[in-house]
Amino acid sequence: MALNSLGGALRQVRRFEDAIHAHTQAADVARELGDRHSEGAALNNLGGALQEVRRFEDAIHAHTQAATAFRELGDRHSESTALTAWAITHNERWLRRR
């Protein structure tokens, strides 16, 4: 989905708030269209953008939603990718609190 790709490009140039907005829009559009895979991908990328700005709780929530979407679709590879991102975010949150 173009909005999700835009979010990725914005992350690369460190425009994280704009990336968050693009990934959120991508997830919303995918949800409206009933495209669970694109929704999961956008949510997982949203989690990454949120982690960049240290919004760890929101990032964990986005990764959890992504993993759930992929689990419902039976996409074990994408589910494991989302769960890995979830674990990395938990670790980053823990390290920042020390």
Cβ(39)–Cβ(27) below 8 Å: yes
- Is pLDDT above 90 for 98? no
pLDDT in tens, 19-53: 999 999 999 999 999 999 999 999 999 999 999 99
* Euclidean distance between CA atoms 56 and 61, whole angstroms: 9
Longest CA span, the chain: 42
CATH number of 1-97: 1.25.40.10
What residue spans define the domains of the chain?
Answer: 1-97
Q: In this structure, what token pair is assigned to residue 64?
A: 């959890």
pLDDT in tens, 51-78: 999 999 999 999 999 999 999 999 999 9
Is the pTM above the cut of 0.85? Answer: yes
Ordered DSSP codes for 36-66: HHHHHHHHHHHHHHHHHTT-HHHHHHHHHHH
Q: Which of 68, 64, 69, 65 is nearest to 86 (CA)?
A: 64
